[in-house]
Amino acid sequence: MNTFEATRRSVLTGTMSTLAAGCFAAPVLAQQSDPISIGAVLSLTGPGAALGQAERSGIRLAEKLLNEAGGVNGRIIRVLVEDDGSKPDIAKSKAEALIFNEKIALMIGASLTASTGAISALTNSEKMPQIALTGLGPAIELTYKSLFHLLPPQALNAKAMLEYTKAQNFKKIGVLHDSGYGQLVYNNLKTMGSDYGVSFVAVEKFEVGAQDVSTQAAKVRAADPEAVYVIATSSVPFRAARQVRITQPIISAIGSSAYDYVRGMGEYADDIVFPEFLVGEDPESHQKAFVDIYKAAYNSLPKNYEAAGWDAVHIAVNALKKAGPTERTAIAQAMREPYRGVMASYNFAAEDLTGIELSSYVYSKLVKTQFTRLTFKAGTKS
């Protein structure tokens, strides 16, 4: 027996040494109960970096200020941010690490729909409350009672676009979208278009990361629409549209409004309307404070995803204050109520655990590369 033990140990020391870092390096601060750990899986590298990095700066800011304000009933919070490199499989492993090694009280993320899907299966089986920074994913997610979404479902984004379209009474719409985010939004536009008396006269798509889409744009132009929907997570289609002389107004979606893309548009960033939530240049009254703090901290303007990160931490802390850091189901339960965030007014009591209403949308317009907030509001409740 002893000999067996000995051999086993020797074998282990041999083979495990490589994994040592992986096994034991994980800090076990969670044990020494002062700080409360919150996990966050974000896409800091890879194609999703634009989202993840924005969200992280919002999260970090909220973490700092909330701790200064006394954290959760005197206990400070630590947000452990992990990078999934925009890959769902890695997101899952990171979630495992956060939940079982770091003993986090609650999960924030992921930045991308796919990563969220990969994590949510795990958080659901562990009853771990998760605040996703994405819109509602595959249908199954409706059955996950611990998964909250801070961004609206794509159906709502589509509605917001159509509301504006209707108000401008555009009937013939051309669509230029990428095969990822754009496809998701368009699938909903397709089904709802007729309700708004909108017909799609040309629908052209291109692969994520495409570097030239001028042919698709030309095809859209050839259909001679009254307005053009451009929905993509890059600046390429916007440039292409203008370069092939699509002079019609462009209506886009929240996912395309990040400064990363707008800067990429250069001087073509003109006459483009986004239904979104936060216009840093001209925030709504309840957003002003956040924008100022953010500007002070990073001396740049925040946008939706920074605000989402900020809200996520605040929602988490509220729940932890109410339910304490240990009872997962209690935490999730505590979250299930309306919350007026910086980005939007949520109602987590709603069936989809998001409960954002059209009235939360703010319409911004790019005029000569500058964002301006439109007075238009999508009044009708969803």
> Restricting to residues 99-138, which ones interact with other proteins according to CB under 8 A?
100-101, 112-114, 117-118, 120-121, 125, 137-138
Give least dist CB 326 to other proteins, A: 19
Q: Which is nearer to other proteins, 142 or 330 (CB)?
A: 142
- Residue 148's SS3 state is strand
Q: Which residue has the tokens 């009853």?
A: 127
Beta carbons of 172 and 199 less than 8 angstroms apart = yes
Residue 96: CA count within 13 A, CB half-sphere:
9
Q: Which is nearer to other proteins, 164 or 181 (CB)?
A: 181
Give least dist CB 139 to other proteins, A: 8
Give least dist CB 154 to other proteins, A: 9
Q: Which is nearer to other proteins, 25 or 296 (CB)?
A: 25
Q: Does 8 bind other proteins (CB under 8 A)?
A: yes
Q: Does 2 bind other proteins (CB under 8 A)?
A: no
List Cα–Cα distances, 97 to 94, 119, 313, 324, in angstroms: 5, 11, 20, 22
| Stretch near other proteins under the rule CB under 8 A, chosen from 188-196, 216-224, 270-278, 330-338 | 216-224
Torsion, Cα of 173, 176, 178, 182 (10° steps) = -20
Site for other proteins in 167-196 (CB under 8 A): 179-181, 183-184, 187
Give least dist CB 6 to other proteins, A: 13
Among 6, 19, 349, 367, binds other proteins (CB under 8 A): 19
> Which DSSP symbol is given to 98?
I
Q: Is residue 204 exposed (0-12), middle (13-18) or buried (19+ Cβ within 10 Å)?
A: middle
Instruction: Enumerate the β-bridge partners of residue 79.
Output: 38
Q: Does 31 bind other proteins (CB under 8 A)?
A: no
Give least dist CB 353 to other proteins, A: 15
Among 65, 244, 297, 374, binds other proteins (CB under 8 A): 244
Query: 103: alpha, beta or left, given left = phi > 0 and alpha = psi -120 to 50?
Result: left
Q: Does 370 bind other proteins (CB under 8 A)?
A: no
| Stretch near other proteins under the rule CB under 8 A, chosen from 191-199, 203-211, 279-287, 310-318 | 203-211
DSSP 44-90: -SSTTHHHHHHHHHHHHHHHHHHHHTTTBTTB-EEEEEEE-TT-HHH
Among 29, 45, 333, 382, binds other proteins (CB under 8 A): 45
Among 1, 14, 32, 69, binds other proteins (CB under 8 A): 14
Q: Of 25, 46, 136, 28, which is closest to residue 91 (Cα–Cα)?
A: 46
Beta carbons of 354 and 346 less than 8 angstroms apart = yes
Give least dist CB 31 to other proteins, A: 14
- Residue 3's SS3 state is helix
Q: What is the token pair recorded at 93?
A: 């492993």
**Total residues interacting with other proteins, rule: CB under 8 A:** 84
- Residue 145's SS3 state is coil
27 Cβ neighbours under 8 A, 6+ residues apart: 102
Site string for other proteins, 135-164 (x = CB under 8 A): --xxxxx-x---------------------
Site string for other proteins, 61-90 (x = CB under 8 A): ---------------------xx-xxxxxx
Q: Does 23 bind other proteins (CB under 8 A)?
A: yes
Site for other proteins in 248-307 (CB under 8 A): 259-261, 263-267
Q: Which is nearer to other proteins, 319 or 353 (CB)?
A: 353
